[in-house]
Amino acid sequence: MKLPYGKVPLKVLEEVIFSYLGAKRKDVVVGPSFGLDGAVIQVGDSYLVTSMDPITGALERIGWLAVNINANDVATFGVKPAFFSSCILLPENSTEGAVETICRQIDSGAKKLDMAVVGGHAETTLKLPFQIVIGCCMGLAENGRYVTSQQAKAGNKLVMTKTAGIEGTAILSADRRAELAQKLDENLLRKAESFYNRISVVKEALLAFETGFVTAMHDPTECGVAGGIHELADASNLGFRVYRERISIAEETRSICKIFKIDPLQLVASGSLLIAVENSHAQSVVQILMRNKINATVIGEFLPSPEKRVIVAKDGGTERLNRPLSDHLWSVLRDR
């Protein structure tokens, strides 16, 4: 079976990767599973939340992205990210300046989130076509309090922050700037490039968690908001009903997706947060986020049957929300 670009399919995850998980240890409280953003390990009386992700689809601000993408995953547990380590892989003929650029970006991102860089590795790698940064982020759950993406309940409302395709918009506006500049207004393109500043969800995740009304959170990354909704439902073994008109898509994202003929809902979406909230408190959570200048909307609800996963059109018609096979970013970047 030839694998698609990006994340491996669920079938491979279940039948291959989950078959080789090493020794079973009692201190692994939450281990690998569908739709989880990280793991929880008991260390004495404390709980350590840890997550790992690579940055493979971006050239600009790759170190900064590595910090923020991994910090987002830890924050979805309601835990403040505190520690970061990285593995920097460089193509042949890289310079000392390339290493310094990435490290400066990591330093900047970590300082902004009050995180310590605690270690890592860097090397030049034979036959590597472009640089890759793999990050690992950790945080300690205060008083043992955390939430996982496995805890959503049928009847919970689904809240989404910000807009769809934020990370993909930022990456494409930077890496495909010359091409886009021929078709888009310069002001719109500059705004799209600034989407890098929207990628962190740490603030909204911690704010939402502190309300006490959140049952689960998930950071939609590869395969976009559509993929993220499926992953959150996978983790909690639920279905969902979402409303297309409630899913906010920025003008910059729509314009770029139209040029490349890709779907904004299937474009890598770091910067948006999916939150499962107790039904009667959903608007309270939205209002708290809005008061803190974070746009948030109730986009749907979770259903008891995992088989029912639908999206409702503006005219009220429903259809199944298909699970993306691969992030649409790859269809643009694969030929670079």
Digit-coded pLDDT (tens) for 210-229? 999 999 999 999 999 999 99
Q: How confident is the model at residue 336 (pLDDT cuts 50, 70, 90)?
A: low
Side by side, the strands of the sheet bearing 239-243 are 214-218, 274-277, 157-161, 296-303, 239-243, 309-312, 318-320
Q: How far apart are CA 160 and CA 229, in angstroms?
A: 10
Q: How far apart are CA 300 and CA 158, in angstroms?
A: 5
Q: How far apart are CA 201 and CA 219, in angstroms?
A: 8
Q: How far apart are CA 266 and CA 293, in angstroms?
A: 26
Nearest Cα residue to 30 out of 102, 78, 101, 63: 78
Q: How confident is the model at residue 4 (pLDDT cuts 50, 70, 90)?
A: confident
Mean pLDDT of 108-115: 98
Residue 58, pLDDT score: 74
Mean pLDDT of 129-147: 95
Domains in the chain (CATH in brackets) are: 10-144 (3.30.1330.10), 157-333 (3.90.650.10)
Does the model's pTM come out above 0.85? yes
pLDDT above 90 as % of the chain: 90
Query: For 234, phi and psi rounded to 5 degrees?
Result: -60, -50
Q: How confident is the model at residue 162 (pLDDT cuts 50, 70, 90)?
A: very high
Residue 335, pLDDT score: 60
Residue with tokens 């260390």: 43
Nearest Cα residue to 219 out of 32, 11, 38, 8: 38
